[in-house]
Amino acid sequence: MSINEVQLAKKFINLHQKDQVKLLNKLKQHELNFLDLPIVKSTADHVDNIPLSYAQTGLWLTWQLNPESAAYNMSG
């Protein structure tokens, strides 16, 4: 994995959705595969403010009630 791939992945994750779609289309035009990019942590402010879904809230509450339970663990 090159430094350029990491930089591109970091820039992508910090883009808004419409700009991400534009970049994905550009990658396709140049026959590049987005899946080859590394997974990087987002530093964007807009990502930190996304609320939990109803299902995520339910799982969080269930875990709060019994954090030792393995009820929602899935073996791979």
* Burial environment of residue 13 by CB neighbours within 10 A (0 to 12, 13 to 18, 19 or more): middle
Which has more confidence, 10 or 44?
10
The HSE-up count of residue 73 (CA atoms within 13 Å, CB side) is 5
Among 44, 49, 48, 52, CA closest to 19: 44
Residue 38 pLDDT: 74
Residue 1 clears pLDDT 60, i.e. is over it: no
Q: Sign of the CA dihedral 67, 69, 74, 76?
A: positive
Residue 54 pLDDT: 93
Residue 45 pLDDT: 60
pLDDT tens column, 13-61: 888 889 989 988 988 898 878 887 777 776 656 555 678 899 989 888 9
The 10 Å Cβ neighbour count of residue 53 is: 9
